[in-house]
Amino acid sequence: MTTNAPPLSPKERYRLTVTGGETDRPPIWIMRQAGRYLPEYRELRSQHTFLDFCLRPEISAKATLMPIELVGIDILIIFNDILTPLRNLGLDLDFPKGGPVIANPIRDMERVKSLPKVIFGDEPVAESIRLVSRHAPEYPVLGFCGAPFTLAVYAVEGFVKGDKEEILRLVREEPETLDLLLEKLTTVATDYLVLQADAGGAHGVQVFESWGGMLLEDEAYERFAAKWQREVISQFRKRCPETPVHLYVRGSRNKLAAMDATGADVLSVDWNTPLTEARRATKRTLQGNLSPEVLLDPNLVPGAFEEMIRGFDWQQGWIANLGHGITPKASVEAARRFVECVRALGKEGG
């Protein structure tokens, strides 16, 4: 692309990147980009509960839009949480300080069998996406869901901390209970994505597998994580064939072949997976993977950025991002520097 061409709109840059076209530079967004590292988010958060953010479209939209001006990202992700749709399954979800808590976790077959069938209406998340698109029509907006196994971890454990004893007990001792739970969560996750794409008009969706890659290996990863990721992605693809799907896996390094086999359009890898290694494993668009630690200090960014992309040809399809969510202690200045590094790629060589 010549240097005289007008810059692409963020929507066009995203579309071309995902479909294998040529772009002026890679697009960038940051996982958890609307979060506690932003003073403006903390101020808004001090006036509302976290569930207000997930359930009230005007508050969700306000938070979603913040990182455009404050950080300069190209892609928006709707402000919500992977756990919100668990409420529709009758789970009593709250977000006290220290992370999400479910007061009535699912621990046995009887409970799994008695879970209600979820039928989504026009949920608040769809209205949030519509509001964001109205305010920022040039920007692509991503919807998202948790991968079935990651949702199961929270639904079974009931809270974030601890050694994940309950879910691992199901893996070892009651695999059929877990199979049935995962089947039900797969329907919830898929329907939630379809709602965001169809009713909301999301321009892409991301599936977050935050735990499968960390807790499971080999046959267990295949049976309880990869199989259901493929199911969500293929069912979604049938119902929303035009909407690209991103798959994020924490613990991606030895899961690249399984990620490729899901058919996701964009594979989002963690910070322990060199991009050159990921590129050898797949031809798909990659996403990632600066370590969130780097954003604690602006001075670390240029060196770490250079190291991340050494030997990696971004023009084969890359969306710049972190390898996991930005932390509350991150520096806003560091996030901006990350954006600058990506923008500078567009100036090299025309």
Per CB under 6 A, residues contacting ligand CP3 are 31-36, 45, 50, 77, 79-83, 95, 99-100, 144, 160, 208, 210, 250, 325
- Whichever of 8 and 189 has its CB closer to ligand CP3, that residue is 189
Considering the complex, what minimum distance in angstroms separates the CB of residue 290 from ligand CP3? 15
Considering the complex, what minimum distance in angstroms separates the CB of residue 263 from ligand CP3? 21
| C-beta nearest to ligand CP3: residue | 210
Provide long-range contacts, Cβ within 8 A and 24+ apart, for 275-284: 275/308, 275/309, 275/312, 275/318, 276/310, 276/311, 276/312, 277/253, 278/252, 279/312, 279/313, 279/316, 281/256, 281/257, 282/256, 283/316, 284/260, 284/317
- Whichever of 208 and 236 has its CB closer to ligand CP3, that residue is 208
- Whichever of 33 and 196 has its CB closer to ligand CP3, that residue is 33
- Whichever of 8 and 59 has its CB closer to ligand CP3, that residue is 59
Residue 308, burial from CB neighbour count under 10 angstroms (0-12, 13-18, 19+) = buried
Considering the complex, what minimum distance in angstroms separates the CB of residue 4 from ligand CP3? 35
Which runs of E-coded beta strand occur in the chain? 76-77, 93-94, 101-102, 141-146, 204-209, 245-249, 266-269, 285-290, 318-322
Considering the complex, what minimum distance in angstroms separates the CB of residue 91 from ligand CP3? 13
- Whichever of 36 and 56 has its CB closer to ligand CP3, that residue is 36
Considering the complex, what minimum distance in angstroms separates the CB of residue 301 from ligand CP3? 19
Considering the complex, what minimum distance in angstroms separates the CB of residue 71 from ligand CP3? 11
Identity of the residue numbered 124: P
- Whichever of 34 and 112 has its CB closer to ligand CP3, that residue is 34
- Inter-CA distances, 235 with 204, 232, 238, 261, Å: 15, 5, 5, 15
Q: Helix, strand, or coil here: 145?
A: strand
Distance CA 153, CA 67 (A): 30
